[in-house]
Amino acid sequence: MSLTLALAGLWLAAGSVPASAAATLSDSEVRFVMAELSQPRPGVVLDAPSPEDLLRDHALWSVRRMRSELNESGELSPELLREAKHLQRERYALLEKNDRALLDGVLALRLGGFSVSALSIKASWPAPVALPAQVLAEPDFPAFLEAVRADAAAQGVPKAVLDEALNGLSVDQQVLAAENSTPEHTITLEQYLTAVVSEKRVSNGRLQLGSNAELLDRVSAAYHLPVPMLVSIWGMESSYGLNQGTFQVVRSLATLGFAGKRPTFFRKELLAALRILADEHMASRDLKGSWAGAMGQPQFMPSSFRSLAVDFDGDGRRDIWKSPADVLASMANFLAKAGWDQSTGWGAEVVLPEAFEQSLTGLSILKPVSAWRALGVRPAAGAALPADGVQASVLRPSGPGGRAILAGPNFRVLMRYNNSTYYASAGGVLADRISAKAR
* Average pLDDT rounded to a whole number, residues 266-274: 98
The pLDDT value recorded for residue 276 is 97
Give yes or no for residue 18 having a pLDDT over 80.
Answer: no
Q: Name the band, by pLDDT with cuts 50, 70 and 90, for residue 427.
A: very high
Average model confidence (pLDDT) across the chain:
89
Of 42-56, 123-137, 158-172, 238-252, the poorest mean pLDDT is in 123-137
- Whether 371 shows a pLDDT value over 50: the answer reads yes
Total Cβ atoms within 10 A of residue 167: 9
User: Residue 115 burial (CB < 10 Å; 0-12/13-18/19+)?
Assistant: exposed
Count of positions (residues) in the chain: 439
Q: What is the pLDDT of residues 71-89, one digit of tens each?
A: 998 888 999 999 999 999 9
pLDDT in tens, 324-339: 999 999 999 999 999 9
Give whole-number Cα distances, 91 to 29, 58, 81, 118, 139, in Å.
11, 10, 15, 10, 20
Residue 111 confidence class, pLDDT cut points 50, 70, 90: low
pLDDT of residue 122: 44
Q: Summarize the confidence of residues 263-272 as an average pLDDT.
A: 97
Q: Which residues pair with 295 in a beta bridge?
A: 289, 300
* pLDDT at site 47: 85
Q: Give residue limits of the domains in the chain.
A: 3-136
pLDDT in tens, 165-190: 999 999 999 999 999 886 656 789 99
237 CB-near residues (< 8 Å, 6+ apart) = 44, 297, 298, 299, 331
pLDDT tens digits for 194-221?
A: 999 999 999 999 999 999 999 999 999 9
pLDDT at position 126: 47
Whether the per-residue pLDDT at 411 is higher than 90: the answer is yes
Q: What is the pTM of this model?
A: 0.88
How many Cβ atoms sit within 10 Å of the Cβ of residue 56?
19
Q: Distance between CA atoms of 87 and 63, rounded to whole angstroms?
A: 9
At 54 the pLDDT is 93
pLDDT of residue 41: 86
Q: Supply the pLDDT for residue 240.
A: 97
pLDDT at 21: 55
HSE (CB half, 13 Å, CA atoms) of 54? Answer: 23
What is the DSSP-derived secondary structure letter of residue 93? G
User: Does 33 have pLDDT greater than 50?
Assistant: yes
Read off the pLDDT of each residue in 347-361 and give the average, rounded to a whole number: 95
Q: What angle do CA 409, 374, 347 make, to 5 degrees?
A: 25
pLDDT at 129: 55
Q: What percent of the chain has pLDDT over 90?
A: 76
Mean of the pLDDT values across residues 291-296? 96
Residue 22: band (very low, low, confident or very high) from pLDDT cuts 50, 70, 90: low
Q: Give the pLDDT of residue 426.
A: 97
| pLDDT computed for residue 2 by the predictor | 45
Burial of 384 (0-12, 13-18, 19+ CB in 10 A): exposed
